[in-house]
Amino acid sequence: MGLKKYFSKKANRNEFYTALICLFPSLVIGMTFVIIPIIMVVYLSFTKWDLISETKKFIGLANYIYLLKNPKFLKSVANTFYFAAVQIPLDLVFSLFFAFLLDKKIRGLRFFRAIYFAPVVTSMVAVSAIWLWFYDPQFGLFNYILKQIGLSPLKWLYDPHLAMLSIVIMSVWKGLGYNIVIFLAGLQNIPESYYEAADIDGANNWEKFKHITLPLLSPVTYFIILISVINSFKVFTQISVMTPRGGPLYSTGVIVFYIYQQAFEGYKIGRASAAAMILFLGVLAITFVQRRIGEKRVHYT
């Protein structure tokens, strides 16, 4: 009844049609590049198709059953969780630390901000290629430094115990600037009067950080964790460039890399689609849990 009454007025109808015309291009783009591909992936995950054949054979849940029993896929899932579990805390700690430093009134502040943000706008392929040289066992910068201080060189990307950690370090460095800027905006948004009141009460720096800064930064922290989780689960470029075959003993093979191998190296589109659906549902579930936790833990001023 409410809608009927709303559309009974000509002005309201004109407003609705104008909004629809303005939204139409976005709706078309969204349908073409998001909704339809998702529907196709869901359909293909239940089929056997090699990307060349005209026919797609429906095989039900066979692709999902295969993946859940496949050691390589399960290892890629474990590698992805390892990447996220190490990368996200490191990113949070270092970005918050540098944001604190940049929040102080020091000379050359704009220069330092630009330096920290520069890797963010640099191509991941270019950054990966540079770090590939850093990690080179014979001519790399890091092993040169180790030799100069009397330590044995490391096989960074060729050691199954170090390969993923090496990529995590590079990924933290690459994305640090973005999180620094977000944290810096959050720090500058905290009213100075809160700290002045804490000083009057005799609070030390740690108490001010614990009871003022951290709670008031919780919306920013929540946002960074949410974005970091999504980005960690779709990591691919640095893996592909730095360890093209998934590293020694598949130690750097992550879910998206596994999907790429199944689809464009093995031409098993059904399995790749099923793996993509598992990834999608996994990220969706984690995001849902994060939102529920965020509703209870995030403090807004």
Ranges of H-type helices in 189-243: 192-200, 205-208, 214-233, 237-242
| Helix orientation angle between 269-297 and 36-44, rounded to the nearest 10 degrees | 120
Q: Which domains does the chain have, with CATH numbers?
A: 2-44 (no CATH), 69-297 (1.10.3720.10)
Within 8 A by CB and 6+ apart from 146, the residues are 152, 153, 154
Tens of pLDDT, residue by residue over 208-223, are 888 888 888 988 999 9
User: Looking at the predicted structure, is the pLDDT value of residue 13 above 70?
Assistant: no
Q: Enter the pTM of the model.
A: 0.88
What's the CA gap between 128 and 247, in Å, rounded? Answer: 14
pLDDT value at 1 more than 70: no
| Residue 263 φ/ψ, nearest 5 degrees | -80, -45
Average pLDDT over residues 12-18: 73
At residue 61, the 3 state secondary structure works out as coil
Burial label for 132, CB within 10 Å (0-12, 13-18, 19+), is middle
Count of alpha carbons within 13 angstroms of residue 213, beta-carbon side: 19
Q: Which of 1-15, 90-104, 232-246, 263-277 has the lowest mean pLDDT?
A: 1-15
> Using one digit for the tens of pLDDT, what is the confidence trace for 277-298?
999 999 999 999 988 887 777 7
The token duo for 9 is 């007025």
Per-residue pLDDT for 300 more than 80? no
Give the pLDDT band of residue 172 (cuts 50, 70, 90).
Answer: very high
Residue scoring higher pLDDT (14 or 145):
145
Once rounded to an integer, what is the mean pLDDT over residues 46-57? 89
Q: What is the pLDDT of residue 6?
A: 56
pLDDT recorded at residue 12: 63
Q: Residue 213: its pLDDT value, please?
A: 87
Q: Which residue has the tokens 């999907």?
A: 259
